A = this chain, B = another copy of it.
Amino acid sequence: MGSPSKKATVAPGPSDLSRLVDPESVAIIGASDRPGSLGARTVANLLDHSDFTGRPYLVSRTKKTIHGLPCHTSVLELPETPEVALLVVPAAQALTVLNECAEKGVRFAIVFTSGFGEMGEEGKRAEAEMARIGREAGMRIYGPNSPGLCNLNKRIGFMFSPSFHLDQRPGPIGLATQGGGIGRCFLQAMERGVGVGLWASTGNEVDLTVADFVRYYADADDISVIATTMEGIKNGPAFADAALYAAERGKPVIALKVGRSDYGARAVASHTGSLSGAAEVNSAVFRQVGIVEVDDMDELIDTAALFTRKRPTGREKVAVYGFSGGGCAMTADAIGSAGLELAEFSEKTLTRLGETLPDYAAVANPVDATSDILSRPEIGHESLRAVADDPDVGVVLYPFPCDYEELTGQIGASIAAVQGETETPILTVWMSDRLGAGYTELVEGGLVPVRSVRNGTKALQRWIERGRWNLDTGWRPIGTAAPGGEESGGERVTHTEPEAKELLARHGVAVPGSGVARTADEAVAVAERVGYPVVLKVVSARITHKTDVGGVAVGLADAGQVRAGLERIRESVTAARPDVPFDGVLVEAMAPAGIDVLVGVSRDPVFGPVMTFGLGGVLVELFQDVARRLLPLTPEQARALVEEPRCAALLRGVRGGAASDVDALVDLLVGVSRFVEVNGGAVEELELNPVRVLPAGRGVVALDAVLVTSGPLEGAK
């Protein structure tokens, strides 16, 4: 063992990664001086291209000295316990070396080595062993299959990349990715002025995950915006919780999640061995916890960069300003198509613009200042300033369709000057593939130009939408255990409809008046109690489609019809399913007319119980008009869920139709949520289809219920 006393003094808390990203001592295990080798590049990155002020150690089996530093044959031989160990060793040695690190008391092991979980079952077993070694020793593991980690704000790189020294522009963005090339793609946006303070690329995530870095960035003083690309999420609730933690600290999380299509999910499995949950669930959860989900790398970079410039309120209206009428028209069109609002200029602004710009300029929003400003940048400055000063303008979008050499250069400089005088962000769009002087001026002026109108519009849309998200009504997790992990493990049980309804009714879910009857006399007695007309439904956990076996009789208006209906059901069901004993019928009061909706709960393998809400019936399957939420739900969140699908308009009442009882529907959703919450991991699947929503003031009724559980239910006999 190394020096436990020293180790104790520096030991960080298990999720405090500040000593991982800025340690006092680091060992490179597998150091080399063979040109181009990973070991040699890792040594060079730390010793030549970093401003590392701690103590470096090199471990090599074959070399005595490398780069002027003495080499040790094993981590066990080092004179002190390094806080961080970088493993640049072949896959076959990784477990042995990790064990040595654990024995020495290393706090953080960064495993570059690939060839584990992404290769199949054997690799997955090795990863499980890595996790065990780390867990038992209290050593956090980063990787394997990772390109490393860099702290650009302190200029420290634990990486083997030959590009480390080139891609260094400090900044307020904390970046967490699973892949290396994609992360470097983000870093190279430094060419447009995007600065990244820290980049973690967590690879196969046997221990430390993107979620851990989100949480670390949330606390880090030098980080204000968090950007991430993910292939899989190891623990959904922990990730959601980390994102909320960041949101509470005022730090937006922008995320690109790969695996939206089957192709993506399959590719991800072979790249980092990650499991993908349902993409729709993922997106719903991201919205719930205030994560800004984006569709591609450009959006990720541009949106993150915009957040570093100013925090949105959600009320921003856009001014479009430019010197090309066509570019302005196209940009205004994109703003409209994205559902964003153009600002309406005040009289004062219009006057200022009219006095400044030539007659043939367009001074309403969009402002086509015309190419006159190319030769007279001073009127460009004054008119752009007038637009930025307008009280209705929250942000200016400024398209440059093409490069005109020094002419656009002058304009670029003048925009940077205006930006120095105003708080209103000016988002410039350099559309041309010719990167001329104007582009350079914009980059050097800190304007971080985006590369297309579409990218600029998307970034604005994401930014403004996030401004509307409200932390106070944000979701709070039930717990942070991975849903796949600590299951009850019990057998799956499909409940009968009356059982399911009774369980739900205990949590305030409205169900029809009903009773179970085995004989005609019992059935009539229930019918008299709940009131005619009634419906009869065969009771059996083994019959899924009751109608298909003649197990349902509707609209029974008197005792005679009830008796006949029961007999008909008994005969049909016995004939169709002689294997199922006849256990009687559920007698229920029929509900009045209303709008039928669907309420379901399923268990996402990544995030756990998720509610689905939408209109019931065949048309909605066609239009897939549903919305989803991770449970639990507060009444406010339930109301927002009801408002989300397009069919919400039907519940509000369209074409003179009456409004429906949305309050009662909200109560029902909250009741279902409570039922799921109370029963922990036992609810596997729940479907209420349809729930009938009656006119306002008259309530809702769950007309059917399918419930599948695993493990004991609260209060179940």
Contacts and interface: CB of A to CB of B under 8 A. Distances in A.
The number of chain A residues touching the other chain, given as a range, is: 35 or more
Contacts of A191: 432-435
A184 B402 contact: yes
Contacts of A435: 191, 435
A266 B36 CA distance: 59
| Most B-side CB within 10 Å, residue of A114, A229, A402, A647 | A402
Interface string A234-259: 00000000000000000000001011
Nearest to A324: B181
Contact of A454 (B295, B323, B337, B433): B295
A258 to B, nearest CB: 5
A329 B231 contact: yes
A229 to B, nearest CB: 7
Query: Could you say how many copies of this chain the assembly holds?
Result: 2
A650 B618 contact: yes
Contacts of A434: 166, 188, 191
A258 B329 contact: yes
15 contacts: A114-B360, A119-B359, A180-B324, A181-B326, A181-B401, A181-B402, A191-B433, A258-B329, A263-B366, A266-B332, A270-B364, A271-B325, A298-B452, A618-B655, A623-B625
B272 A325 contact: yes
Given A185-B402, A368-B271, A646-B622, A453 B654 contact: no
Given A296-B454, A368-B271, A401-B185, A333 B263 contact: yes
B264 A621 contact: no
Given A260-B333, A271-B325, A618-B655, 12 more contacts: A177-B326, A182-B324, A185-B401, A188-B403, A261-B336, A261-B337, A262-B336, A265-B333, A297-B330, A451-B451, A619-B619, A622-B654
A297 B331 CA distance: 11
A295 B452 CA distance: 12
Interface string A270-291: 1110000000000000000000
B623 A368 contact: no
A185 B323 CA distance: 13
A212 B273 CA distance: 56
A454 B299 CA distance: 10
Interface of A: 36, 114-115, 118-119, 162-163, 166, 177-185, 187-192, 229, 231, 256, 258-268, 270-272, 295-298, 320, 323-330, 332-337, 342, 359-360, 362, 364, 366, 368, 371, 375, 401-405, 407, 431-435, 451-454, 618-619, 621-623, 625, 646-647, 649-650, 654-655, 657
A70 to B, nearest CB: 29
Contacts of A118: 325, 360
Contact of A326 (B119, B192, B265, B271): B271
Nearest to A297: B431
Contacts of A266: 332
Contacts of A360: 114-115, 118-119
Contacts of A188: 402-403, 432-434
Given A179-B324, A654-B622, A296 B334 contact: yes
A452 B264 contact: no
Contact of A184 (B272, B401, B657): B401
A546 B271 CA distance: 64
Contact of A297 (B166, B362, B452): B452
B335 A261 contact: yes
Contacts of A163: 402-405
B231 A326 contact: yes
Contacts of A649: 622
A259 B333 contact: yes
